[in-house]
Chains A and B, each alone.
Chain A
């Protein structure tokens, strides 16, 4: 009975003051605190920390890999661009070459055709000139003949006799010669 009263009195005193200074609860608190801390430590060190460490390392690795892959792709892209530019320049140069070649070819063909045409024209001209000369010779001959006939007829009409054909011919020829002098 006396013990119970003492306990009650102690409890009352504890309640009135600071429960933090209730030393009878200290072993209990310390025991359970140690248990709690050990459990937390085991959970963390056995499960949580290795797991989080692994995840962080994996993430770091993934990021590094991704950056390397991105750099690789970037390099590939610049390579492709370079190749494209090179191909473009090559094509351009080739096109220029083809243009020059074609131009030279056309020039040569043109020159040949011109020469050919010139030759043809020259031949035609010569031919035409020959013909013109022929025609002119024929015309002269005709003129001589007409003159002789005219002279014969004139002689016959004027001298009332037969004209000496040979004499007329010589005279006409002489005149023509002189006229053409």
Chain B
């Protein structure tokens, strides 16, 4: 509410006010992480388990993980669905011509991804906009929810990102053949290169095409996983050093700020690469 009154007033104060709020939020997050780190049982000094946060376990009780078991990953995916619903459905229920704050955010996300699809993949890619927007929102919200201390980050798992990247790869490849027939293969035949080089280039293009889903999925999962692991390591240092752990807390704050950026950027990167691949499928000719 303090920021509410600020934004209506002087812009300068509003900006410094929101900056203060962000700084305060980061510090409180660091404190929470610090306390969480203290509460973990580090019985033998520096025994930090940065990867433990990625362990998938049943959310209700103990037991084997079947394909249908509700796990911590499942719960946070569900929370992502709820958050997306809150933003995109509840936030826009006013259908206001002059939007409320939440509605402007929803419209901003809509316009951002729609423009990206249109600019990168062309106007004829707009029918696929809902699918791309689904991927974007899921990754964005899973990343951001994963930044809540004590939460689980679904997108840090290669199984999740590989399925999404694989789905994009398969869809785009099938779509390319449906839309262009055998003409889709001209994607690998660089007609602007000298004839001698074309077969070699074709091999390289083919390899790079099949590497796409691998890099597409590992880029997202790797970034998210690495950031969270580093956060955990710094929090572990703080836990080991006890009350005097100023440097690790500053480190946690800095890495956390970076992770906020990475969360948004990786969602953006995944989406824009999807658009690029879609463009190749719709317009394979160089």
A-to-B contact residues, CB < 8 Å: 14-15, 17-22, 24-37, 39-41, 43-45, 47-49, 51-56, 58-59, 62
Residue of A nearest to B80 (CB): A36
Q: Give the chain A neighbours of B159 by CB distance below 8 A.
A: 20, 25-26, 29-30, 33
Contact in complex: B137, A44 (CB < 8 Å):
yes
Residue with the greatest number of chain B CB neighbours at <10 A, chosen from A43, A55, A58, A62: A55
20 contacts between A and B (CB under 8 A): A15-B49, A18-B51, A19-B56, A25-B65, A28-B67, A29-B73, A29-B159, A32-B71, A33-B159, A37-B138, A40-B81, A41-B130, A43-B85, A44-B84, A48-B88, A51-B89, A51-B95, A55-B95, A55-B103, A55-B107
Residue with the greatest number of chain B CB neighbours at <10 A, chosen from A19, A36, A49, A55: A36
- Assembled-state Cα–Cα distance A58/B95 (Å): 10
Q: From A17, A33, A53, give the contact of B163 (CB < 8 A).
A: A33
Main secondary structure of the interface of B (DSSP, over half): helix
Residue with the greatest number of chain A CB neighbours at <10 A, chosen from B51, B96, B164: B51
Residue of B nearest to A51 (CB): B92
Q: Mark B148-191, 1 if CB is under 8 A from A, else 0.
A: 00000010111110011000000000000000000000000000
Q: Give the chain A neighbours of B107 by CB distance below 8 A.
A: 52, 55-56
- Assembled-state Cα–Cα distance A24/B57 (Å): 11
Q: Give the chain B neighbours of A43 by CB distance below 8 A.
A: 81, 84-85, 88-89
Contact in complex: A18, B54 (CB < 8 Å):
yes
Q: From A26, A36, A55, give the contact of B77 (CB < 8 A).
A: A36
Contact in complex: A59, B77 (CB < 8 Å):
no
Q: Smallest CB–CB gap between B207 and chain A, Å? A: 24
Contact in complex: A59, B138 (CB < 8 Å):
no
Known contacts: A15-B55, A19-B56. The answer to whether A41 contacts B163 by CB under 8 A is no
